[in-house]
Structure 1
Amino acid sequence: MYVDSTEKEIITRYPELDQMTDAPFHLWEDHSKNSSMITLAKGLLSDEQFYIIFLFMIYVSQIINNCAIIANILSIAVFVKLGFSEPSNISLTALAVCDFTLAVLSTWSNLCFWLTYHNFRLPFDSANVSLLTGGIQWAFLSSTIAWITAFISFERCLCILVPLKLRRLITPRGTFVAMLIIILLTFCPSFFAFIRYKFVWVFNPYLNRTILNTTPVNSELAILLDKISLLICGVIQPLMAFSIVLICTMLLVVQLRKISSWRMSVTSAKRQQVQREENPAAGLSAAEARISQKEERLVRMVVAIATIFIVSYIPTCITLLCYVVFDEFNTFGVYRRLFLVSGYIISLGQPISGSTNILIYYKMASKFRSVFRRLLRLDRQ
């Protein structure tokens, strides 16, 4: 994975190849003009360390992606058989579809980077093309998953706080519309990237043929739209969704503890009625106390899903904050290598969350477990 003398000679004669070829050397180099900053960055992550870590991340990421693809296909099939009369089935299906799509996009990016690393002579610039056809969409879809998880957590908070009004507030049609709005506002802006960048055919002397590449559109409108969409959908929205999930999960955990304490203190129907009327020290209202055990199991399942999401999304929040604070922490800055490695660390979190959700469904949802076992013919009956 080092540039030989022939490649160095070609780059010297054709400097434009550093940005337009699919050869691997242009992908890993830093582009800052500040030599002291480059020395510092390379001291943080040497060439050999970078190559080993990056290749290891690609293989690990793909193993997790394969698990996420299989798990979410099974989840979607089970939810389709269960039907969509329950609002929770609609939101969980949307979450599974987004997790599946995210794993597919990540697989495409892994394939392109793997081909770039091994210096395959492809008819397109694998690094740049994969960024425009997979990487950008992956980042925006990650925000979509965050908002769907936030919606599910908020819905369960309403189940705890106003259980008697839940069916009027959250309906199957309303949930379906909410999923469409979330996708429209969080994922669709990713297509602004095709305004900022476009595909072009360029002659590559290194390959001695014309290849497909990307080039930026330097119009003021394109640059403005790209910056706005990246700031809102790539930074602000994910952090807001993460905050909502965190707050709702904390509220759900507190309320579940209150409900468990209240139920343990009730030994008879008469005592239960007395406690509802006298508002016991457990702090639950009569409406809160009437939450069914079925709803409680669903709340516990949502808490488990949200907890895994929070843990897996923390690296994303840290990377987004670093992206905002440090100017050189991006794909063209002096910390390009650290940015790429952190990007692959992020790419591990979401597929892990998406592939483990099916285990939570199977453990905590009896209907899901029953349909899942029939689907795979695990039950003889």
Structure 2
Amino acid sequence: MYEQSRGEDSITRFPALGHMTDNPFHSWEDHGKDSSLLTLASGILSDEQFYIIILFIIFTSQLINICAIIANSLSIAVFVKLGFSEPSNISLTALAICDFILAVLLTWNNLCFLLAYHNVRLPFDSANVSVLTGGVQWMFLSRTVAWITAFISFERCLCILVPLKVKRLMTPRGTFIAMLIIILFTFGPSFFPYIRYKFVWVFNPYLNITILNTIPVNSEFAILFEKIYLVIFGVILPLLAFSIVLICTVLLVLQLRKISSWRMSVTSDKSQRVQLGETPAASSSAGEARISQKEKRLVRKVIAIATIFILSYIPTVIMLVCGVVFDDFNSYGVYSRLFFLSGYVTSLGQNISGSVNILVYYKMASKFRSVFRRLVRLDRQK
């Protein structure tokens, strides 16, 4: 009896199928009431197509998770060796640590889904339990990554626009405090879902054993509290962080082009003076050129990181907007399968972003590249 056919019955066995989406906290009781929607209006995809695509995404995600774990481990090791005298190293280290943890959580979520899909007998409901042991943490930590990226973009944008004022504020200590505030504000509330859901031991008639599962707390306070924090942390904060990154990236690109045009005009003016026999005032031009080149490299690195984030976060933004516009775009509505598929795609995109940042560091930071090559023994240490 426990070995049911996959398809509509698989959906019934996985009420927490959205555990890796950006809204994993749907109501189990609502799923029970509206489960007919999942079978009568399963969406565009058939049962077989749906599960083939989901399994393909999961296996692809697992490979990317391994790459992300290795890449961010190396990034953290390199930044530790570089030290934290520069504020940018502190924020980039925090970003690498969060990306590393995201990859670990996503690996656990994928594994739980595969165990549930293949009917592996376990002392816990892997699909439901993974929501409170991985899905919750993944969603809140992805907001942390978004806001750290927003901080990096905003800080670099201010350094270009008002450099003298920012340099007095953006010290290593100030950056460290800012990282702590962001982490506490975005990831600290990850205990909120435990007010709405809790772990219980329930008897499973299919396995004929008692297993660990999760059930909702149906108090009015818990339900209202869930709606409030889902709006704040599920919609408002990620969209606001995305907007900040997008605006700051555009400003950085425009400012970088403006600086490049100005320097070309200055260089052209100096060459004309030399041809006319005049002596240009170049007392500090060499020092200014060195500073500008270093600043330009750092700005380009931030632009590259922000651009990768924007591209990988666009599916999440689309999913959040669809969830606001369409009432049935949720884990138990008419478009449930499209919702689940979108959730897996968004998690995959964000994980790709965290795994390729090391390529940006290696390409655009000479100190990082030098320490990295020595760390993996590509260069001999003198």
* TM-score above 0.5: yes
Distance 1:4 1:102, change over 3 A: closer
AA at the equivalent of 1:171:
T
Instruction: Tell whether the 8 Å contact from 1:259 to 1:289 is kept in structure 2 after alignment.
Output: no
Deviates further, 154-163 or 264-273: 264-273
Aligned to 1:199, the other structure's residue is in SS state strand
Residue number in structure 1 paired with 2:107: 107
CA contact (8 A) 2:38 2:332 kept: no
Aligned to 2:237: 237
Classify the secondary structure of the residue corresponding to 2:211: strand
2:4 aligned partner, one-letter code: V
Q: Alpha-carbon deviations, 1:303-360, whole Å to 9, x = none?
A: 0000010000000001111122222222232322221111110011111111110000
Q: What is the deviation of 1:43?
A: 4.8
Once the two structures are TM-superposed, the CA of residue 220 in structure 1 deviates from its matched residue by 1.9
- What secondary structure, in the 3-state scheme, does the structure 2 residue paired with 1:42 have? coil
Q: What residue is the counterpart of 1:54 in the other structure?
A: 54
Looking at structure 1, the residues matched to 109 and 365 of structure 2 have their Cα atoms a distance apart, in angstroms, of 34
- Further displaced range: 51-60 or 332-341: 332-341
Shift of 1:268: 7.6
CA contact (8 A) 1:266 1:272 kept: no
Residue in structure 2 matched with residue 178 of structure 1 by the alignment: 178
**1:96, distance to aligned residue in structure 2 (A):** 0.4
Which residue identity does 1:376 align to in structure 2? V
**Contiguous gaps of at least 5 residues in structure 2:** 17-27, 274-287
Q: Which has the higher contact order (CA 8 A, sep 6+)?
A: 2
Task: Provide the C-alpha distance between the structure 1 equivalents of 2:188 and 2:35, rounded to a whole number of angstroms.
Answer: 37
For the residues of structure 1 that align with 2:166 and 2:291, how far apart are their CA atoms? 11
The residue identity in structure 2 corresponding to 1:207 is L
Q: Indicate how the Cα distance of structure 1 residues 272 and 230 shifts in structure 2: closer, same or farther if over 3 A, else same.
A: farther
Counterpart residue number, 1:282: none
**Aligned partners of 1:313 and 1:333: how far apart in 2?**
24
Contact 1:329/1:335 (8 A) holds in 2: yes
Corresponding residue of 1:276: none
**CA deviations over 1:87-123 (Å, ceiling 9, x no partner):** 1000000000110011111000000001111110111
SS of 1:213 mapped into structure 2: strand
Q: Structure 1: state its 5+ residue gaps.
A: 21-26, 274-287
Whether 1:315 and 2:304 are equivalent positions in the alignment is no
Matching residue's letter, 1:86 = E
Contact 1:190 1:229 in 2 (8 A): no
User: Partner residue of 1:329?
Assistant: 329
Q: Offset at 1:231?
A: 0.9
Partner deviation per Cα, 1:213-253 (whole Å, 9 max, x = no partner): 00001112222222211110111000000000000000000
Q: Does 1:164 align with 2:173?
A: no
Q: CA deviation at 1:141?
A: 1.0
SS of the residue 1:206 aligns to: coil
Alignment partner, residue 21 of structure 2: none
CA contact (8 A) 1:38 1:334 kept: no
Question: Over aligned residue pairs, what C-alpha RMSD do you find?
Answer: 2.8
SS of corresponding position for 2:202: strand
The separation in 1 between residues aligned to 2:352 and 2:272, in whole angstroms, is: 42
Q: CA deviation at 1:162?
A: 1.2
Q: What is residue 281 of structure 1 aligned with on the other side? A: none
Say yes or no: does 1:67 pair with 2:62. Answer: no
CA distance in 2, matches of 1:192, 1:88: 31
* 1:331 alignment partner AA: S
Match of 1:226 in 2: 226
Q: How far apart are 1:137 and its partner, in Å?
A: 1.3
Letter in 2 for 1:334: V
> Could you tell me which amino acid in structure 2 is paired with residue 239 of structure 1?
L
Aligned pairs for 1:1-381 within 5 A: 3-4=4-5, 33=34, 39=40, 41-267=41-267, 292-381=292-381
Aligned to 1:278: none
1:264: how far off?
A: 1.9
3-state SS, counterpart of residue 292 of structure 1: helix
Q: Note the C-alpha offset of 1:174.
A: 1.0
Matched pairs, number: 351
Scaled by the length of structure 2, what TM-score is found? 0.85
Amino acid at match of 2:301: M
Closer/same/farther in 2, CA of residues 152 and 209 from structure 1, 3 Å limit: same
Q: 1:16-39: CA deviations, max 9, x gaps?
A: 98869xxxxxx9xx7564968853
Q: CA deviation at 1:203?
A: 0.8
Task: Tell whether the 8 Å contact from 2:3 to 2:119 is kept in structure 1 after alignment.
Answer: no
8 Å contact kept, 1:204–1:211: yes
Q: Counterpart amino acid of 1:73?
A: S
- Against the structure 1 CA distance between its residues 333 and 42, is the aligned structure 2 distance closer, same or farther, given a 3 Å change threshold? closer
Following superposition, the deviation at residue 47 of structure 1 comes to 0.5
Q: Does the 8 Å contact 2:196/2:223 carry over to 1?
A: yes
Evaluate the alpha carbon distance shift between residue 180 and residue 272 of structure 1 in structure 2; reply closer, same or farther with a 3 A threshold.
farther
Is residue 91–residue 148 contact of structure 1 (8 Å, CA) maintained in 2?
yes
Shift of 1:267: 2.4
Cα contact 1:160–1:291 (8 A) shared by 2: no
Find the aligned partners of 1:217 and 1:179 in 2 and give their Cα distance.
33
What is the aligned partner in structure 2 of residue 23 from structure 1? none
